């Protein structure tokens, strides 16, 4: 009988964890091992939200998670979040509201909001959603359009 090798799933594909160092962060695995550069590195210390991904549907910071410690979990990044209904609605809301300037923070906002809508459902108020997005920073300070996108995403899903 063979023992299954440690692995996690990224955007529906199996990723073997064989040979991945214990200290390697999910952020680095995604960007440098898998070439999924849509996940952005910002502060690398949990303060900016740019690296947000979904782990089993919940928003998590890929800079503060070790890949080996996510064995068996399922990761969704910005490259695939549009293949599920909530992620697709959030992406559309950001596009329709033009809620980006340089765009560096956008994947993190999209994933964080998708995770919150998974968790809270569309009954969460726009104010609550905005409060819970407090850990995502836009250094262009383009927050007005982001606020509109959050409200629009909620309306789309209501």
Partner 1 sequence: MAPIELIAPATEAEVLSAVGSAAPGTVAILAGGTDLLGDLEHGRLRVQRLISLRRLPWRSHAWEAGGLKLGATEPLRQLETDPDLLARLPALHQAITAVGSPALRRQASVGGNLGRAAPASDLTPALLVLDAVVELVGPSGVRTMPVDRFLKASRTTELGATELVRSVRIPELRPASAYLWRRVRPANDISQIGVAVAWSPRRNAWRVSLGGVPPRATLAEDCARALGSATPSAAEIEQAAAVLSGSPALVSDRRATEEYRRRLASALCARAVSAALGRPPEGVP
Quote the least distance from Cβ 152 to partner 1, whole Å.
21
Quote the least distance from Cβ 40 to partner 1, whole Å.
14
Quote the least distance from Cβ 124 to partner 1, whole Å.
11
56 or 155: whose CB is closer to partner 1? 56
34 phi, psi to nearest 5 deg: -105, -10
Instruction: Check binding of 147 to partner 1 (CB under 8 A).
Output: no
Instruction: Check binding of 60 to partner 1 (CB under 8 A).
Output: yes
Cα(126)–Cα(20) distance, integer angstroms: 40
Residues that bind partner 1 (CB under 8 A): 21-23, 25, 44-49, 52, 55, 58-61, 63-66, 68-69, 71, 112, 115-116, 119, 132-137
């Amino acid at each position: 009988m063979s023992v299954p090798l440690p692995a996690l799933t990224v955007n529906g594909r199996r990723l073997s964890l064989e040979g991945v160092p214990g200290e390697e962060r999910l952020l680095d695995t995604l960007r440098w091992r898998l070439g999924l550069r849509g996940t952005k590195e910002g502060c690398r210390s949990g303060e900016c939200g740019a690296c947000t991904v979904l782990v089993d549907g919940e928003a998590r910071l890929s800079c503060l998670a070790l890949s080996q410690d996510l064995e068996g979990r399922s990761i969704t990044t910005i490259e695939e979040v549009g293949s599920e209904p909530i992620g697709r609605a959030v992406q559309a809301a950001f596009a329709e509201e033009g809620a980006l300037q340089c765009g560096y923070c956008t994947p993190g906002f999209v994933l964080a909001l998708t995770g919150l809508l998974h968790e809270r459902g569309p009954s969460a108020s726009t104010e609550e959603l905005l409060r819970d997005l407090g850990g995502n920073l836009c250094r262009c300070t383009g927050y007005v359009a982001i606020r509109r996108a959050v409200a629009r995403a909620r309306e789309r899903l209501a």
